[in-house]
Amino acid sequence: MRKLLKYFNGYKIEALCAPFFKIIEAIFELFVPFVVAAIIDKGIPSGDKGYITAMCGVLVLLGAVGLTSTLAAQYFAAKSAVGFATSLRQALFDHIQSLGFAEIDRTGTSTLITRLTSDLNQVQTGVNLTLRLLMRSPFIVFGAMIMAFTIDVQAALVFVVVIPLLSVVVFGIMLACIPLYSKVQARLDKVLSITRENLTGARVIRAFCKEDEETAEFTSRNEALTRIQQFVGRISAIMNPVTVVIVNLGIIALIYIGALKVETGLLTQGMVIALYNYMSQILVELVKLANLIINITKSLACAKRIEKVLEITPEMADGTITKGNDSSEYIAEYKNVSFKYPDASADSLENISFILKRGENVGIIGSTGCGKSTLVNLLPRFYDTTEGEVLVDGVNVKDYSQVALRDKIGFVMQKTVLFKGSIKDNLRWGKEDATEEEMIKALTQAQAIDFVTAKPEGLDYKIEQNARNLSGGQAQRLSIARALVKRPEILVLDDSSSALDYATDAKLRASIRELDYSPAVLVVSQRVASVMHCDKIIVLEDGLMAGMGTHDELLKSCEEYREIYDSQIKS
């Protein structure tokens, strides 16, 4: 939690004002038993209504000042906690954005979502409660004990015994619960993970009639979470009855000692009532403190989990070069490139070398899982090579500023992702200041203009989350248009026409070949028809380059390519 304190910058004054006003409220609250004692000892025996009325007025005044202080404390605590959570949430989101694909893969999407949502909300609640109650409760406890000593030393010794006993119980239970709450959050992660999988893959689950299996899996994880929550709950539940028993025993001892002293005339009835009220205040505050500690324990567990995400160091150091050598003969070059995913047992790519000339179309083909997508993911530096180097305009991609590097590349990923909003908004991901004419031109080139103009709203047509109101082919064409609108120097199409029919695919390929700015194009596909007209075709097999050449050359020299051709075209 200590590392997160810097996110209080800008809210330090509010963070100090909240406990300050709470202590003011506590001070006035400690005077209430004295006023009540005065009414009992002086006003009631003498029947002095004026005195009683005046003292009642003092009580009202103490209550009004206390209420004002409480409202001020609530305001400052809420403002400080919300401001802290806002700064932390932004910092956490920015840090996640800075992580590479490898770190995100290793941490897990559901884990990162949990840190940004439920964990951070729990920390915000803990900060709010801490600012309001952490100083107040101990102040009331020790203040009540001091006030008791001003009344009677012997009776106050009961407080000296009760308070340490209560502290042992409260802090002992707290120490027992801290590691258990970490386990609760870990089990919660598992529940959220399977929930996310079920919601995103609902159609697949129903298509394969796996509802019962998934329900059983969710039930198992949910019950595991419930069991540990109940176990922690039982330990936490011990706190209230034990504290109540200890305090009530203290009250019994206090009343007994007070009764003896009243009988001998050493104490008045009002003083005994005041001592009883102070003991009751201690009981209330310790119950509050016990609940506060439980919340703080949860918050600290969540804060540690957030800290662990913030401590993840991005493996990719951003370069400084913003412009390559435009006079370089090749726009991109792979030199003896090998790559292995973190914790993988073998390389996904091994010793790959090829060049991509300006304006050249290069196709990449191979069986499923042979490393095609991995190969093109190295170009915009989504991952770093294990061995070898990838050059763009004669400069190693590791030396580029990532913004400058990716600005050169239009990337259409294998999995189509469109964001909730209008078609216009999605296209402007490619170019923020794109005009409608540029968008229409890109849509035409991507063979998407027909279905866009058929919509009554046109470019303002709203795409729903995960593009569920579009077909697969429509979504793919829009993602291609999004890449084309930026007029990239290198266009990467990673199996981006898999949902298109052959006629539309052929029109798309012809349109891309006729682009007026002549980008270099990398086409990843499992279809021979999608790559056979490329200037050069690379054939991958189990991460190795099985062949490279034109369509005709590969038919003669590459057995793997010939097998794919025979299965798709010749047959």
Q: Are 403 and 396 in contact (CB under 8 A)?
A: no
CA–CA gap between residue 372 and residue 147 (Å, rounded): 78
CB atoms within 10 A of CB 561: 27
Name the residue type at position 176: A
Contacts of 227 (CB under 8 A, 6+ apart): none
Give helix 49-98 / helix 120-129 axis angle, nearest 10°: 150
Q: What are the backbone dihedrals phi and psi of residue 356, each rounded to the nearest 5 degrees, phi first?
A: -125, 110
Both tokens assigned to 278: 């102070």
Both tokens assigned to 165: 């006993």
Chain centroid to CA 396: 33
Helix ranges restricted to H, 201-324: 202-207, 211-237, 239-264, 269-310
Q: Are 496 and 530 in contact (CB under 8 A)?
A: no
Residue 495 pLDDT: 86
86 to each of 90, 120, 259, how far by Cα in Å? 6, 9, 56
Q: Decide the pairing of beta strands 349-357 and 330-339.
A: antiparallel
CA–CA gap between residue 26 and residue 497 (Å, rounded): 70
522 to each of 163, 334, 364, 485, how far by Cα in Å? 74, 13, 7, 17
- Residue 12 is given by DSSP the state H
Q: What is the pTM of this model?
A: 0.75
CA–CA gap between residue 301 and residue 412 (Å, rounded): 40
Can you state the percent helix, strand and coil of the chain, rounding each to 5? 65, 10, 20
CA–CA gap between residue 171 and residue 358 (Å, rounded): 70
Secondary structure (3-state) at 561: helix
Chain centroid to CA 93: 7
Residue count of the chain: 571
Residue 337 pLDDT: 93
| Domains, the chain | 2-310 (1.20.1560.10), 418-487 (3.40.50.300)
CA–CA gap between residue 248 and residue 225 (Å, rounded): 35
* CA 529-530-532 angle, 5° bins: 60
Please, what sign has the CA dihedral across residues 144, 147, 152, 157? positive
CA–CA gap between residue 193 and residue 74 (Å, rounded): 36
CA–CA gap between residue 242 and residue 284 (Å, rounded): 13
Both tokens assigned to 567: 């299965």
Name the residue type at position 444: T
CA–CA gap between residue 456 and residue 158 (Å, rounded): 81
Q: What are the backbone dihedrals phi and psi of residue 165, each rounded to the nearest 5 degrees, phi first?
A: -60, -45
Residue 1 pLDDT: 64
Residue 166 pLDDT: 79
Residue 114 pLDDT: 82
CA–CA gap between residue 540 and residue 488 (Å, rounded): 26
Q: Order of strands, edge to edge, in the sheet holding 349-357?
A: 349-357, 330-339, 387-392, 395-396
124 to each of 79, 288, 374, how far by Cα in Å? 11, 18, 40
Residue 571 pLDDT: 57
Name the residue type at position 30: L
Residue 364 pLDDT: 94
CA–CA gap between residue 462 and residue 443 (Å, rounded): 16
Both tokens assigned to 213: 């299996």
Name the residue type at position 250: G
One digit per residue, the tens of pLDDT, for the chain of length 571 reads: 677 878 888 888 888 899 899 888 888 888 888 788 778 877 777 777 887 888 888 888 888 988 899 899 999 999 999 999 999 999 999 999 888 888 888 887 878 888 888 889 989 998 998 888 888 888 888 888 888 888 878 777 887 888 788 778 877 877 777 778 778 877 887 888 788 888 888 888 988 888 899 899 899 999 988 998 888 888 878 877 887 788 788 888 888 888 888 877 777 788 888 888 887 787 778 778 777 877 887 788 888 888 888 988 887 888 888 887 777 778 999 999 999 887 778 889 999 999 999 989 999 998 888 889 999 999 999 888 999 999 998 899 999 998 899 999 999 988 888 899 999 999 999 888 889 999 999 999 999 998 899 888 889 999 988 888 888 889 999 999 999 999 999 999 998 887 888 888 889 889 998 888 889 999 998 888 888 889 999 999 988 999 999 999 999 889 899 988 888 876 5
Q: Residue 505 half-sphere exposure, CB side, CA atoms within 13 Å?
A: 20
Q: Decide the pairing of beta strands 462-463 and 421-422.
A: antiparallel
Please provide the DSSP assignment of 454-470 as one string. Answer: TSTTGGGPEEPGGGTTS
* CA 405-406-409 angle, 5° bins: 105
* CA 427-429-430 angle, 5° bins: 75
Ramachandran region of residue 495, left (φ > 0), alpha (ψ -120 to 50) or beta?
left
